Amino acid sequence: MGPLAGEDREVKRALGSVASVIAVALAAAAIGSIAPGRAVVTIWIPYAAFVTLLLGLSWRVVRWSLSPVPFRIPTVCGQQKSLGWIKAGWLESPSTTLGVIARMALEVLTFRSLFRNVRSRLEAGPRLIYGEAKWLWLAALAFHWSLLIILLRHLRLFVQPPPAVAVLLDRLDGFFQVGVPVVYVTDVVLLVALLYLLQRRFRDPQVRYISLFTDYFALFLLLGIAVTGISMRYFARTDVIAVKQLAIGLAIFAPAVPANLGPWFYAHLALVSTLAAYLPFSKLVHMGGVFLSPTRNLANNTRMKRHVNPWNYPVKVHTYQEWEDEFRDKIEAAGLPVERR
């Protein structure tokens, strides 16, 4: 396959994923605009997505917990605890549960392993050069934190009265007070971070080569959710009270079909539903997987504790002594030494 065929394939993956996201958004906007379709977009699809999310995540967790982990396999980059006079890395190679929790918390909250990520390139010579690659870390951190804050802020749309955390974040996030409605910093950061992550996949030939449909789809889906949400807030206002009634109705299993909430809302909700249903079956499930990963959640204490494989079953062995007893006469006849006379 020539290089052009490879590039064609890469372009197809990117275009296919953006087209899928646009198709979901347009279909939802069209179905929601006709009265009989409104229940499908506002009630049935969100419920189906939520059930898929719950079942999918449970299936994942059950599968993860069933996979055997007979050995301690934490990935570490520090000295393991052994003799008292050898300085151990309590965080880089944690030997206690507290150390594991501290390492995991820092990983989840600050993406420490991504911070250490380096880029490599081949120069004339040939010489392999390693360099800093902090932008990916920064964009990933900015994206995940903005997403979390936006989700927490959304609680004001689902809970009555809005929880204190949602009100507080709303105030902090809108501290710029640019125009009406107030511009949220996280909206801008989320968009910029997502666009950076996308352009990185397009621009870097190595990353583009290994990028699959699902890599683009996840990014375009999140971008679609951000764009439809932002459009609703700043350009095509929707009835937030009606959204709240719908959300509460869905939560207490007594949903009522709302009045027309506009195409942006139907597109937003359908894309969020797609994300929810897709999450357990995609790479996005790293969100939960990181906590269940034995390379991260096990203490590195193999020099302090003997770990016996819990699945060990009794094996019938034939010891050297038994073998020697069995062939003693032949070994002695051949003049070979034996351990026990």
Nearer to ligand HEM, 69 or 155 (CB): 155
Q: How far is the CB of 271 from ligand HEM (least distance, A)?
A: 8
Q: How far is the CB of 268 from ligand HEM (least distance, A)?
A: 6
Nearer to ligand HEM, 29 or 232 (CB): 232
**Binding residues for ligand HEM (CB under 6 A):** 147, 150-151, 153-154, 157, 184, 187, 190, 225-226, 229-230, 232-233, 238, 240, 243, 247, 265, 268-269, 272, 275
Nearer to ligand HEM, 228 or 300 (CB): 228
Nearer to ligand HEM, 14 or 227 (CB): 227
Q: How far apart are the C-alpha atoms of 297 and 307, rounded to whole Å?
A: 16
Cβ atoms of residues 174 and 156 within 8 Å: no
CA distances from 15 to 126, 209, 259, 279 (A): 35, 15, 34, 21
Q: How far is the CB of 17 from ligand HEM (least distance, A)?
A: 17
Mapping DSSP to helix (H, G, I), strand (E, B) and coil, where does residue 66 land? helix
Q: How far apart are the C-alpha atoms of 92 and 77, rounded to whole Å?
A: 5
Nearer to ligand HEM, 94 or 258 (CB): 258
Q: How far apart are the C-alpha atoms of 255 and 39, rounded to whole Å?
A: 9
Q: How far is the CB of 272 from ligand HEM (least distance, A)?
A: 4
Q: How far apart are the C-alpha atoms of 116 and 257, rounded to whole Å?
A: 50
Q: How far is the CB of 269 from ligand HEM (least distance, A)?
A: 5
Nearer to ligand HEM, 136 or 247 (CB): 247
The continuous run of DSSP H or E covering 211 comes out as: none
Question: Closest CB to ligand HEM belongs to which residue?
Answer: 229
Tell me how far apart the terminal alpha carbons of the chain are, to the nearest angstrom: 70
Q: What is the C-alpha R_g of the chain? A: 28
Place of tokens 């096990």: 298
The beta strand positions in 92-155, using DSSP E, are 118-123, 127-132
Nearer to ligand HEM, 284 or 331 (CB): 284
One-letter amino acid at 103 equals R
Q: How far is the CB of 203 from ligand HEM (least distance, A)?
A: 25
Q: How far is the CB of 123 from ligand HEM (least distance, A)?
A: 41
